[in-house]
Amino acid sequence: MKAVSKPRWANDPFAAALMPPSGETDDERAKRVHEQSEAARVSREIDESLQETKKLLEKRKKAIKVLLLGQAESGKSTTLKNFQLSFCPSQFKKERAAWRLIIQLNLIKSVRTILQAIQDDWEAIGPVKPTSPIPGFSRQNGSTTGPLLAPNNQETGDKEDREPILTDAHRRLRMRLSPLISMEENLNKKLFPHPPDPREISVRGGTNWKSYLTRLPREKEQKPLRPGSSQGSLPQEEGTRILVTFKEDIIALWSDPVVHRVLKRRRCNIRDMPGFFLDDVQRIAVQNYEPSDQDIMKARLKTVGVEEYHFVMENAPEGDGDWYIYDVGGSRSLRSQWASFFDDVQAIIFLAPLTFNLTLEEDPTVNRIEDSIIIWKAICSNRLLEHATIILFMNKMDVLATALGSGLRVRDYVTSYGDLPNDVPSVVKYFRDKFKAYHKKLSPKSRSFFWHETSVIDTDATSAILFGVREGILRSQLSKSNVI
């Protein structure tokens, strides 16, 4: 008797599982074939997606990664904006509209700060006692513009610090502008819910806020807003409406010499605060306001967490165009998040503003330069960063020049400065030597010290520096890979 040989699939459980069941009808067969081809398609898609992810990871591994570090308000995000403007101008242009609302909110915040100063002055010192009519009150016809001069506006010195100078007219102006505060709060809440610090507008890493604000449509005609009524309008429209509605009162407030005297005696240097746009109300508080490059650089939006930006540089040499730049939040509470980016970066741009007379927002007892040096020491000595190129940007050179020009002496804030000349080159040399010495002493391996004097709100000068920085990073990458 001839032995019947077993079919090949009989020992293969997978092949057996795919065999058609015995007695399969035509309909069942068609269904099974369809399901099998569907499963094969899904499997192919998963394979392709894995290949794609692998390629992306490879590409990312080869890409240049740069980390921007420094204390809060040191200019990290502004440097990133300059990177975009210099190397990806079309992307920068596309996102221009997103900055409109941020600038409007910056302006509204300055108005809020002034209203608060008026309130504080009122509570601490009180108003000018009104005799009827208020003597010396110079505004005519009940107009809302023009200076609101109080009678004793010529007085100076110590006496001025205790003299009431605000009038009922200021109280009325303050009342007219007060809806602005709740409108600003509502707008902030809509845009950036749960901010870590409600006094500052901030953006959380990965929220894609720019595409959100760029995407929203704008109405052609916007009606002025009745105080308190913002219902139904988009956040982007609200900023414009608020400013257009309150424009004249804002101008009256900012052009009033008494208000400036109140700010002075309450030591509120509003001009030096980030995001200062009060000199530009006429230009900004209009329906079709388009932020300029300079406006965008001056806009203040605090970074919370870490933002990753992937740049494909539009004008880069072949193969060198893929860059990742990480922009971190610089407040003390956010610095613990920096370390997770350390093991994979080729270069660090460290922003240290030479604002010798300022202290940290988080801790007014700590001098800003002292704080920068503490972070600098930690970065230079970190072993995970021993291969990274560190580039120091001594930033806010314009602010330094203004501070020295106004007569401030460095030694009154940094005692070790002693009797050295109180001019820009000497101050720069003094602090540069300090940073350089720590870099040399604390770096685990010897490496070159790179530094630049910057004012990163100056786009032309910063662009020239960034082109140099890019070349430097590429060259140092090349020499490292040759050594390896």
Ligand X SMILES: Nc1nc2c(ncn2[C@@H]2O[C@H](COP(=O)(O)OP(=O)(O)OP(=O)(O)O)[C@@H](O)[C@H]2O)c(=O)[nH]1
Q: Among ligand X, Mg ion, none, what binds residue 74 when CB lies within 5 to 8 Å by partner kind?
A: ligand X
Q: How far is the CB of 132 from ligand X (least distance, A)?
A: 45
Alpha-carbon gap, residue 311 to 322, rounded angstroms: 6
Interface pattern 437-456 for ligand X (x via CB under 6 A): ------------------xx
Alpha-carbon gap, residue 408 to 406, rounded angstroms: 6
CA 381-383-384 angle, to 5 degrees, is: 125
Query: Which residue in 109, 298, 452, 470 binds ligand X (CB under 6 A)?
Result: 298
Query: Which residue in 72, 150, 173, 250 binds ligand X (CB under 6 A)?
Result: 72
Q: Which of 253, 244, 120, 232 is nearest to 186 (CA)?
A: 232
Query: Which residue in 235, 239, 275, 291 binds ligand X (CB under 6 A)?
Result: 275
Q: Which stretch binds ligand X (CB under 6 A): 6-14, 59-67, 217-225, 294-302?
A: 294-302
Residues 77-136 touching Mg ion, rule: CB under 5 A, are 77
Interface pattern 285-324 for Mg ion (x via CB under 5 A): ------------------x---------------------
Residue 7 or 206: the one with the smaller Cβ distance to Mg ion is: 206
3-class secondary structure, 386: coil
Does the footprint of ligand X cover residue 399 (CB under 6 A)?
yes
Query: Which residue in 64, 67, 77, 170 binds ligand X (CB under 6 A)?
Result: 77
Alpha-carbon gap, residue 371 to 352, rounded angstroms: 9
Alpha-carbon gap, residue 474 to 468, rounded angstroms: 10
- Overall size of the chain counted in residues: 484
Does the footprint of ligand X cover residue 279 (CB under 6 A)?
no
Instruction: Outline where DSSP puts E strands in 34-107.
Output: 64-69
> What are the angstrom distances between the C-alpha of 106 and each of 152, 234, 300?
33, 18, 7
Q: Which of 173, 301, 179 is nearest to 238 (CA)?
A: 179
Alpha-carbon gap, residue 428 to 423, rounded angstroms: 9
Q: Which stretch binds ligand X (CB under 6 A): 95-103, 213-221, 293-301, 466-474?
A: 293-301
Does the footprint of ligand X cover residue 75 (CB under 6 A)?
yes
Q: Among ligand X, Mg ion, none, what binds residue 70 when CB lies within 5 to 8 Å by partner kind?
A: ligand X
Handedness of CA 208, 210, 215, 217 (dihedral sign): positive
Residues 99-158 touching ligand X, rule: CB under 6 A, are none
Q: Which of 221, 215, 205, 249 is nearest to 235 (CA)?
A: 215
Residue with tokens 């020049």: 401
Q: How far is the CB of 398 from ligand X (least distance, A)?
A: 5
Does the footprint of Mg ion cover residue 71 (CB under 5 A)?
no
Q: Give residues in contact with Mg ion (CB under 5 A).
A: 76-77, 303
Q: Give residues in contact with ligand X (CB under 6 A).
A: 70, 72-78, 274-275, 297-298, 300, 302-303, 329-331, 351, 395-396, 398-399, 455-457
